[in-house]
């Protein structure tokens, strides 16, 4: 029996010839496979996030994690999006919507000008 660190989360696990990640990461990969198989079907390509959650049983936070880490690319799925961390608007990539980023820049500029005055 060989004990290794999981390449995904760095936790200790016993490596077998069937698994090269820990149990938690293995279950997460199974959830990813379920989501990806669902949205790949032609009839499901226009599904919303709530439809994917409902039909696959995978939590929305986990699907968002797949998108944020780049494991799941949603650019070809028009109704799928992740929430902006600032305003909650639906976005395809990144952490912030364009409007939220612009608003943050304006606030920073205003504070900088106020500080220098």
The whole-chain average pLDDT of the chain stands at: 88
Which alpha helices (DSSP H) does the chain contain, by range?
23-40, 49-56, 60-68, 98-116
* CA-based R_g, the chain, Å: 19
User: What local confidence, expressed as pLDDT, does residue 43 receive?
Assistant: 92
Q: Which residues of the chain have pLDDT under 50?
A: none
pLDDT given at position 100:
77
Query: Which contiguous run of DSSP H or E holds residue 15?
Result: strand 12-15
pLDDT the model gives residue 59: 94
d(CA 83, CA 85): 6
Task: Tell me the pTM.
Answer: 0.74
Q: Please give the Cα distance from 1 to 7 (Å, whole number).
A: 18
Calculate the CA 56 to chain-centre distance: 16
Q: For residues 35 and 28, give the distance between their C-alpha atoms in angstroms, rounded to a whole number.
A: 11
Read off the tokens for 46. 């226009």
pLDDT at res. 74: 87
Please tell me whether residue 24 adopts helix, strand or coil conformation: helix
């Amino acid at each position: 029996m060989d004990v290794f660190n999981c390449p995904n989360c760095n936790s200790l696990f016993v490596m077998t010839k069937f698994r090269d990640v820990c149990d938690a990461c293995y279950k997460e990969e199974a959830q990813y496979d379920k989501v990806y198989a669902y949205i790949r079907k032609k009839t499901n390509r226009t599904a919303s996030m709530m439809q994917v959650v409902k039909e696959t049983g995978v939590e929305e936070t986990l699907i968002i994690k797949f998108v944020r880490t780049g494991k799941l690319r949603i650019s070809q799925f028009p109704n799928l999006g992740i929430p902006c961390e600032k305003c909650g608007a639906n976005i395809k990539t990144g952490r912030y919507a364009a409007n939220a980023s612009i608003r943050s820049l304006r606030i920073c500029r205003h504070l900088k000008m106020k500080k220098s005055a």
